[in-house]
Amino acid sequence: MASSSDRLRKQALDSINRQQFSTAKAVLEKLCLQQPGDIQVWLMLGAVYGILCDYRAAEKCCRKVLRLNSGVPEAHLNLGNVLKAQLRYQEAIASYHEAIRCRSDYLSAYHCLGNLFREVMMHDRAVETFRIALKISPDNPSVLYDLANTYRARGEIVEAVRCFQRVLALNPGHTLAQMNLAVCMNHDSSYDRESVYREHCNWGQMLEKGQSETGCFDNIADPERQLRIGYVSADFRMHSVAFFFESLLANRDTGQFEVICYSEVEQADEMTANLRSLSDGWRDTRGLSDSDMYSMIQADSIDILVDLAGLTHGHRLGVFAMKPAPVQVNYLGYAGTTGLSRMDYRITDNLTDPPGDSDKYHTETLIRLPQCFLCYKPPLASPPVSASPAQTSGHVTFGSFNDLTKVSPDVVRVWAEILKQVPDSRFVCKARQLKDASVCARYYELFSGHGIASDRIDLLGQVESAAAHLELYSRIDIGLDTFPYNGTTTTCEALWMGIPVVGIRGERHISRVGLSLLRNLGLNEFVANDAQGYIAIASSLANNLEYLSELRAGLRQRLVASPVCDAVNFTRQLEGAYRNMWRTYCAGTGRSNGHGGQ
């Protein structure tokens, strides 16, 4: 007959397998009282506490195990995970190293350590650690996937693509690898539009596979009634998406549109609170399965469901793949198609996605707004526009505050050529990844390879506040946009702070956002057709300091007066597009076939 302890152990394991963790916790606590020297029971209890986010209790369990036997590698690994969850990073690193000391080929410890190094912006250590892990397990898809994301974070897109492709060769069903492969290829001008589109479609097909679509909705098919709009995002916080979404929410026609926000926000802030106060309904969807969120949206009788993420962190495209609303729209958060056949529309404009070829490279029907596809709300607490720094420094300073995933070696090559064309000029580059000295060293080396000494380059990491970030624009005379992936928020911020931005127009949406923003400000002359034109425009501006100073003084007002900041007009245009989508649905034709843009 089984003992009481055996029965409790079996009950605990059954509860864990059924994901009944609160029950498992209670059972394991009893078992620990009966078997206080049983290391495995303490390890199990610590793991359950960790799942339940009771990190202090989990830490106590790990330390109990280590008092019983300091050589248990699993206890050091679990302790490292618990310390990491409490943001005690240095202690976590030490615990992972102890796990490796106990077991030199401990793959999980190397894997966790590599991910922590990446999280704390120690990218070179992360790459080194993942490579050791791959010596232990050469074809491990999980390790390869995280190595690929580390390369991506360092701006090494070519290496990231190769790793994601290797993951998919080993595991063709790895949806996250497929998604990130599509995203990385979207950053790289060496891939043609057809290849990029194909990988996005592969991702969409993976997501939709096995997800049935009912096509049956109870929504009243009245083309002119008040509509219920649902917005889905993980970025209802101090984030670029919120800077463009806030005005839309604040200026909506409340008689015609009722808005419910589905929030995946992990850490709410004052922007979250503001957006919540502006909406008619707010749903916290964190932790909800796709099926549960699908049921929630259907219960809310949403007419038009709008994805604000695309293929970015925190997206809920798995829900969109289930088609919980009659009309589904992609907007704002991602510069490209979602690849989903069940995403009906995508909001854009005639400049970022010109009619014709652009329609072929989207699974969605493109809806083109008459002016700019977005509306920027400048931050209220902003420093004043400063005088051009060249007036006092004696040299022109170029700059870019775009994410390093957009700053490819080809971009650096062109920037270096501009610096050569303008003697004594300097360059300021700011990105969160530049907190890492190894990443800085790589970019100094890239510039040096083109004959630009490091003393002409300032590399800046993330700063503490939005105000401090905006203040850094006072160090720049001329902004240089990235290519092929243009900036959006960074371009708007630069213009707000009086910095003219020079860009290159390309073929795809990612390469034409700068064109849309600048043309809507009447600054089309700052957009070149190719790299040589880009260099020429930047060099010419640098040699006309009087014009540069005059331009700087009036740019903020020019931005405010432009369609880019005309919130009321923009919102009416977008709401008109929503109404037309709904009329099409009510007419029984659904969305247009063959991706005919409007």
The percent of residues in the chain predicted with pLDDT above 90, rounded, is 89
Give the residue carrying structure tokens 């096995």. 210
397-400 and 365-369 strand pairing = unpaired
pLDDT at 592 over 90: no
pLDDT at 113 over 70: yes
pLDDT at 545 over 50: yes
| Banded model confidence at residue 9, pLDDT cuts 50, 70, 90 | confident
pLDDT at 8 over 90: no
DSSP helix/strand/coil, 426: strand
Q: Are 367 and 347 in contact (CB under 8 A)?
A: yes
| Banded model confidence at residue 223, pLDDT cuts 50, 70, 90 | very high
pLDDT at 335 over 90: yes
Residue-wise pLDDT for 411-453, tens only, equals 999 999 999 999 999 999 999 999 999 999 999 999 999 999 9
3-state secondary structure 277-332: HHCCEEEECCCCCHHHHHHHHHHCCCCEEEECCCCCCCCCHHHHCCCCCCEEEECC
Residue-wise pLDDT for 250-283, tens only, equals 999 999 999 999 999 999 999 999 999 999 999 9
DSSP helix/strand/coil, 237: coil
The percent of residues in the chain predicted with pLDDT above 70, rounded, is 97
At 116, the amino acid letter reads L
**Residue 269: its pLDDT value, please?**
95
Residue-wise pLDDT for 524-536, tens only, equals 999 999 999 999 9
Mean pLDDT confidence for 77-86: 96
283 pairs with which residues across the strands? 262
At 304, the amino acid letter reads I
Helix (H) or strand (E) holding 427: strand 426-430
Q: Any idea what DSSP says for residue 433?
A: G
Mean pLDDT confidence for 230-244: 95
Mean pLDDT confidence for 138-165: 96
Q: Are 300 and 191 in contact (CB under 8 A)?
A: no
E strands, 461-507, are 478-480, 501-504
**Residue 11: its pLDDT value, please?**
87
Q: What are phi and psi of 235, to 5 degrees?
A: -115, 30
Residue-wise pLDDT for 552-561, tens only, equals 999 999 999 9
Spatial separation of the C-alpha atoms in residues 397 and 183, rounded to whole Å: 31
Q: Are 396 and 477 in contact (CB under 8 A)?
A: yes
- Helix ranges, 328-408 (H): 357-360, 390-393
Helix (H) or strand (E) holding 410: helix 409-421
**Residue 3: its pLDDT value, please?**
76
304-307 and 227-233 strand pairing = parallel
| Banded model confidence at residue 134, pLDDT cuts 50, 70, 90 | very high
Q: Any idea what DSSP says for residue 383?
A: P
Spatial separation of the C-alpha atoms in residues 167 and 140, rounded to whole Å: 8
Spatial separation of the C-alpha atoms in residues 519 and 516, rounded to whole Å: 5
**Residue 590: its pLDDT value, please?**
53
**Residue 598: its pLDDT value, please?**
39
Residues with Cβ within 8 Å of 282's Cβ and at least 6 positions away in sequence, in order, are 260, 261, 263, 276
At 131, the amino acid letter reads R
- Helix ranges, 69-122 (H): 73-85, 89-102, 107-119
Q: Are 517 and 524 in contact (CB under 8 A)?
A: no
Residue-wise pLDDT for 190-199, tens only, equals 899 999 999 9
pLDDT at 593 over 50: no
Residue-wise pLDDT for 477-533, tens only, equals 999 999 999 999 999 999 999 999 999 999 999 999 999 999 999 999 999 999 999
Domains by residue range for the chain, with CATH: 31-138 (1.25.40.10), 155-210 (no CATH), 227-375+571-586 (3.40.50.11380), 390-563 (3.40.50.2000)
**Residue 216: its pLDDT value, please?**
81
Residue-wise pLDDT for 566-579, tens only, equals 999 999 999 999 99
Residue-wise pLDDT for 338-357, tens only, equals 999 999 999 999 999 999 88
**Residue 589: its pLDDT value, please?**
61
Mean pLDDT confidence for 48-67: 94
Helix (H) or strand (E) holding 541: helix 531-542
| Banded model confidence at residue 7, pLDDT cuts 50, 70, 90 | confident
Q: Any idea what DSSP says for residue 26?
A: H
Residues with Cβ within 8 Å of 48's Cβ and at least 6 positions away in sequence, in order, are 16, 21, 24, 25, 28
Task: Give the closest residue to 234 by CA, choosing from 247, 245, 221, 250.
Answer: 245
What tokens were used for 22? 């609160």
Residues with Cβ within 8 Å of 514's Cβ and at least 6 positions away in sequence, in order, are 481, 486, 487, 491, 501, 503, 504, 505, 527
Q: What are phi and psi of 267, to 5 degrees?
A: -130, 105
Q: Are 264 and 233 in contact (CB under 8 A)?
A: yes
Q: Are 258 and 269 in contact (CB under 8 A)?
A: no
How far lies 391's CA from each of 387, 388, 395, 552, in Å? 8, 6, 8, 12
Spatial separation of the C-alpha atoms in residues 167 and 266, rounded to whole Å: 28
Give the residue carrying structure tokens 């098919």. 221
| Banded model confidence at residue 594, pLDDT cuts 50, 70, 90 | very low
**Number of helices and strands (H, E) in the chain?**
26, 13
Mean pLDDT confidence for 42-60: 93
Task: Give the closest residue to 222 by CA, choosing from 589, 586, 584.
Answer: 586
**Residue 591: its pLDDT value, please?**
52
DSSP character string of 149-211: HHHHHTT-HHHHHHHHHHHHHH-TT-HHHHHHHHHHHHH-TTS-HHHHHHHHHHHHHHHHTT-
What tokens were used for 582? 């709904």
On the CB side of 50, CA atoms within 13 Å amount to: 22
User: Mean pLDDT over all residues of the chain?
Assistant: 94
